[in-house]
Structure 1
């Protein structure tokens, strides 16, 4: 007698792996590799190491948009008062503990000027998720994306309420996808023209790079992948055993979809690296749309590969699971990405002050290895000491009606 196989596989979680890759790109970007570092027969291949940190942050945004939309589309949260409260409560438990702990540690031991009374205004902005990198004093620039992300969490229920009954076909989803990209792209272009002054860098950071409004398209594209998958599932023809009447459909295998998805992401980071290396900062117009499209394709390819539910029932990441499936080691970067992202710039700042070498390559390698190792160690400590205990307080189901297996 054969029993149905339980869908609890030991397979790679692609979204954690992508988060880890994006976090690594951010670290490389802040460490700043030297130019003309890698060469072969008069060709400079150093650009390979110059993946732009902004594009990596946009990948975070798109993934977040998808995952925050999925928890509503899947029924984990509902649009009643309790469901929305639980959603916000769980986001607070995910973000606040490590966020405020890191602000405290960095303010006391690294960026001490922010504790001066004259700078409390900027400390307040950090504490209220309104930080946009425009502080006149030094502080870890990475924190701006947490402000933008938390602002997005506040409006997720409203976005879901607005779209859940209005997008009924895949054509409508694709049209919405394109319209949002176009509108926000025009908005960025308009801001670029309006604020093109002598203080162009400060204006770019404050009005184009960090605000929710000029990053909402990337969030929304990830969010709309849920609507596309829902429409795709509802429009799929019923299976037919009759060979003569069964429609011919060109199907790409699940394995091929995964290869295509990761290939697209690699192309994305190589594109941003090449563009940044040879053309400088032009990401306000180019990067968001390209990143949103490729990251959304990555998500769609994996979630339509026939095993989208497996990531909810996947075996918990452990040393034994990694030994049996070594590729899962990529998930470690995703698990630690939040801590590494918050700690790495402060660690890099401290390492930079004690380096005595003047050789650019040696300086780069010391900063890179030191930053990766120390931020990973600190992220591991805070993951077990802060993130995991906080996660135990999370609530999901908003009512007993939705409490199904």
Structure 2
């Protein structure tokens, strides 16, 4: 599947929203000056949901193209590609998180109260169920992994179904499954779905959108413009949070994200095809995964400095954002070039050929 226009850069902006959501949370908990008064600083969770939509759009479209070309889906190759892309950074962050909270902090005299059994926690982490640890608050470095777990759980369940279902039923499968998943999440007695953030419907609805032909129809320009306006309002205001119930908010965002992606990738937008932004999009997985680790380091440094010097709040706030973002990007760059690429190069061996 060829790389769709604009989509790689979009990954960076979503990762950026997650960073500016977590940075003020982290520093305010440590009584360090922070700023998050504008709605855009509260859209980290929504950015993750759009990541889910983006992932579902790309993955299911890729599987669909494979089925069309080869009349089958090679699940072994699919999962090997996922392993080579996701596992290396995921397990590195798992190791860092377990080491940091269970060995490093106690060693320097900072007590950490662990509310979960360590062996159970390790098993959940290594089997890609980090979301099952969320209720135990295992620490930010490990909590960030929940979304990766959700993504892999989704594809573990849906990819085999997708491979088995006849092609003519794909569209019906996705649209029906999406609303069943919304119902189960919001209205059923399966409370564990909410407890463990098992939000799968963003993936499946975006998968449905990836199979549609939303172009060359009447009022296309108008509907496209409305979608762009709604996306801007969604991420820069609290209009929808304030006036929508939770079920309506989920359904609206699911529909909006799926359709927005189909519009957004239709043709190249020069700003989003900038080489720098494209590269930042390529390393966005590392940006997402490492920024919480970087915050721990910057937090230690700031606490040490503030014990010795009196610094203006504005300087602290700007420095916290700039330092975390800059060091995270550098870390993600190093990881991508010297660690992830080792595995990404092997991914080529499992590309599907006709």
Task: Give the TM-score taking structure 1 as reference length.
Answer: 0.67
Does structure 2 retain, via aligned residues, the 8 Å contact 1:51–1:270? no
Pairwise CA distance, 1:109? 4.2
The equivalent of 2:340 in structure 1 is 387
Structure 1 pair 109–267 and aligned structure 2 pair: CA distance change class (3 A) = same
Pairwise CA distance, 1:194? 7.9
Distance 1:60 1:158 in 2: 22
Does structure 1 retain, via aligned residues, the 8 Å contact 2:34–2:317? no
Structure 1 residues 367-405: Cα deviation after superposition (integer angstroms, max 9, x where no partner):
21121111111111100112212111123455xxx53xx
The correspondence for 1:266, drawn from 222, 226, 232, is: 232
Helix, strand or coil for the counterpart of 2:135? Answer: coil
The equivalent of 2:263 in structure 1 is 301
Structure 1 pair 30–397 and aligned structure 2 pair: CA distance change class (3 A) = closer
The equivalent of 2:53 in structure 1 is 62
Structure 1 pair 111–377 and aligned structure 2 pair: CA distance change class (3 A) = farther
Q: Which moved more, 1:219-228 or 1:103-112?
A: 103-112
Which structure 2 residue ranges, 5 or more long, are not aligned?
A: 107-111
Structure 1 pair 65–163 and aligned structure 2 pair: CA distance change class (3 A) = farther
Does structure 2 retain, via aligned residues, the 8 Å contact 1:94–1:387? yes
Distance 1:89 1:260 in 2: 39
The equivalent of 2:281 in structure 1 is 334
The equivalent of 1:219 in structure 2 is 203
Mark the structure with the bigger radius of gyration.
1
Structure 1 pair 182–333 and aligned structure 2 pair: CA distance change class (3 A) = same
Distance 1:347 1:385 in 2: 18
Structure 1 pair 360–156 and aligned structure 2 pair: CA distance change class (3 A) = farther
- 1:105 and 2:96 aligned: yes
CA-based RMSD: 4.0
Distance 2:86 2:332 in 1: 14
- 1:85 and 2:76 aligned: yes
Helix, strand or coil for the counterpart of 2:167? Answer: coil
- 1:138 and 2:139 aligned: yes
The equivalent of 1:241 in structure 2 is none
Task: Give the TM-score taking structure 2 as reference length.
Answer: 0.76
Structure 1 residues 182-239: Cα deviation after superposition (integer angstroms, max 9, x where no partner):
4333333336x886xxxxxxxxxx6416443xx111110111123223xx79xx9xxx
Helix, strand or coil for the counterpart of 1:265? Answer: helix
Does structure 2 retain, via aligned residues, the 8 Å contact 1:142–1:345? yes
Map 1:66-215 onto structure 2 (within 5 A).
66-75=57-66, 80=72, 83-109=74-100, 112=103, 119-132=118-131, 133-140=134-141, 141-161=143-163, 164-167=166-169, 177=175, 179-190=176-187, 207-208=193-194, 210-212=196-198, 215=199
Helix, strand or coil for the counterpart of 2:81? Answer: helix
Structure 1 pair 164–359 and aligned structure 2 pair: CA distance change class (3 A) = farther
Does structure 2 retain, via aligned residues, the 8 Å contact 1:84–1:157? yes
Structure 1 pair 102–386 and aligned structure 2 pair: CA distance change class (3 A) = same
The equivalent of 2:253 in structure 1 is 291
Counting matched residue pairs gives: 327
Helix, strand or coil for the counterpart of 1:228? Answer: coil
Structure 1 residues 255-297: Cα deviation after superposition (integer angstroms, max 9, x where no partner):
x9987665443232124x5566x69xx9853543232212211
Distance 1:361 1:342 in 2: 27
Structure 1 pair 250–101 and aligned structure 2 pair: CA distance change class (3 A) = same
Pairwise CA distance, 1:12? 8.7
Higher helix content, 1 or 2? 2
